[in-house]
A and B are shown apart, each in its own frame.
Chain A
Amino acid sequence: MPDTAPAAVRADAPTDGQPIIEIEGLNKWFGEFHVLRDISLSVNKGEVVVVIGPSGSGKSTLIRCINHLEEHQQGRIVVDGTELTDDVRNIDQVRRETGMVFQSFNLFPHLTVLENITLAPIRVRKWKKSKAEERARFFLDKVGIPEQALKFPGQLSGGQQQRVAIARALTMGPKVMLFDEPTSALDPEVIGEVLEVMVALAQEGMTMIVVTHEMGFAREVGDRVIFMDQGQIVEVGTPEHFFLAPREERTKAFLSKIL
């Protein structure tokens, strides 16, 4: 008998919930480099999953696969009942239901804050301009910067820009929010204002997958924490489990460095 690969660690959602994201046996290569290895992960509606791990561990690539900004080569990704295939209609369907927040904000610099937020609702959801603007102002209010609506992104601070980016994603009415290191590019004194918005969002019951180095956030609002290293899921557990009694050596080594 040939040697079989060691069984991968699965990160299944609790069985009492209703899964909205299901990833099964996901593999991805960049050229020859095996960046994601046998990832199996499911997320329930309303869950907040925090993904941590050293840089280069594949955690950003993983959540970028969920809205198909990265293409996977093996495995299944199903988001709210739609499987991601090469079919563009499926991809667009999934992207409409998932909001994404990037490390570098990626606001459109040639559009005002309001236009940044209303562009996709008007063009993709086909809302009337008045409805889109009304919803946009509602979410700008929610992230605490209603007075910035008519400014350009370049006139805002980093923390304000990231809050606009969150409002932009929320206005589309997504079922899932993906956060790709949302506070890594921010000055220390404005990280708090962005985290506050995210905590409020989690408490309202939004389904969230958050790639972050903010352990305080993971501990406070995370339902589950996933530790990744070298393209694999190494350990899964509640925040209490992670920060009080991690099992794996690699997890312990990583946590001891950043805590």
Chain B
Amino acid sequence: MQIEKITRQGYAATLSKEVLWDIYKSMKTQRLLEDRLLKMYKGGQLSGAVYPGIGQEACMAGIAAGMDSKDIFGGTHRDLGVQIKKGVTLKEIALNFFGKNDGPSKGRDGNSHFGVVDKGTLMVVSPLPDSAPVAVGWALASQQSGTGVVAVANCGEGATATGTWHESVNMAAVLNLPVVFTVQNNQFAYSSPNDTEFGTPNVADRAAGYGIPARIIDGNDIYEVIDAIHESCENARNGNGPSLIELVTFRHYGHAGHDPAEYVNDEVREFWMKRDPIARFEDALLQEGLFTTEQFVSLSEELEAEIKETIDWAKNQDDPDPKNEESDMFADRTTPLIENSENNKETMNFIEAITNGLDELMDNDENVFMMGEDIGVFEGAFKATKGLFNKYGPFRVIDTSISEGGFTGAAVGAALAGKKPIVELQFYDFVYPALDQITTEAAKYNWKAGKPVPMVVRGPTGAGTRSGPFHSISPESLLAHHPGIKVVAPSNPYDAKGLLIAAVNDPNPVMYLEHKKLYRKPDLKMEVPLGLYEVEIGKGKIVKEGSDLTIVTWSGMVSVAEQAAQELSKDGLSVEIIDIRTIVPLDEEIILNSVEKTSNLCILQEDVPFSSIASEISSLVAEKGFWSLDNPIIKVTPPNTHIPFAPVLEDAFIPSVEKVIKAVKELQ
């Protein structure tokens, strides 16, 4: 078979013999390893799956070789070659494939779904290209701090059809971030050919839509890949913004070990086999007289032996202990809670307390920054960022495109890079497009990759402003159902500031819910200390002591509970009100202690009832506080519907003082 020749040019031409041998070795390692794994999989020796990148070795090794060692790579399950070239060891890979305790994901994910952040590879997840916005966020942190780190966001051509990819490229372009988007176009998204995935002849054609440069290169020419990647990385590093590189290539096997790839016809296969990247590289190295065939054969033998030995070793390593199933869900906070040491106080309403908190956080720590729609010049839809753009500038109070998924994912990347990002959702109803990033990336990082993600997603929640079904949700249960994220929902200015500061200082992703009806509620104004102080996350508060009935509530419903308690006291009923303040982690103790005292429980929430926090608390008390109960548990909630617009409907939807009183009296 005639092999198409490749020749060194540009940056590739400057590489030493040793560097070239190293690149060749990593390509060969990938191929032999994946070949071995594929055989083991087919022989029933390996659980899970194998996603061989055989045929794409030049893309992977070339991407890694074109990057600086400090640069960060966000890729896919088919990028083992990049990981190998970035320094991830065979042992690490083998341990992950066997789900072993000491592997990069501690057995929490298998095969090639892992990253080693310290070696410059982001955690690999299955929804693609979910690491793209994370890479963009890392680049954002780099831009802010001037570290000169470039992020490479890689995916296959199929994943470019997603909104996530679009948002990532668009954001990077708008913010002029040091990102190189690489697309390994291996002709098939699983089984689907290019023309079923995008309407332009090439992926690279779409770069024009983002206003960024792009090029199409031969992904099976190691020299061209190295040169292109290096050039794009250096451009980005020098402040010239992102670019797109489409690496045209071909995978020799199916999407995964179980896929025979019968959708590939012989003609196509033959065309690409002539362009096998390793054969071409070997040919070029021989032509240059740098290495001999014997050296290639000898390296293969050494690598095969090492791979076999490593796999045998990995098989016998410790499995993870199911006893540790629940560990690493959250990173432990290591710094002490900040007590309020300032005597200066100022009367603030709810939103002023939030703005004050944001200001002091940004003033105190330059790693704190904000992202969101219209939060800069316009100072936010509700003016939560009032004065902050003028004080801290466009690099720390960042106006984003309408890309909730994009900028939330970027917050993950920035957090991994050492920043403390605060994302503002204009309305918490718009969390849906961001949920993928929150749950796939933010919630799983510490658990699966051992890297905490200190970020805050804040925004207005709740009904009562005649804003209809898309500006009114109470997302507590929606968020809380996902393990790995914290959820706080303050009810007054003091707690709002204290919890905000605690949220930003928490090493974990915290969803910070601001009930918009509280923002400027006149009777909620109170004295709030100036200076940093924290309200501990996970601690509820007894708002009012009582002996006959406990009302557990939070956020906008606390004042409803207080009014109801006042009315009920006229009938001689002494109501205790617990403001849980934090949904996750829930302060079970304060609830159970109160129910032990009163024996009667009413849970009041604005969120819809089915599968909700009220259900959760009810379940908690039924399980752990059963012997304290003197009556069935009451839940006062809206109906299980969407939030309606018509004032008469919305008023009927939101739990009222009267509804609480009626429910309690029916019980008595």
A in complex with B: no
What is A's interface to B at a CB cutoff of 8 Å?
none
Q: Which residues of B contact A (CB under 8 A)?
A: none
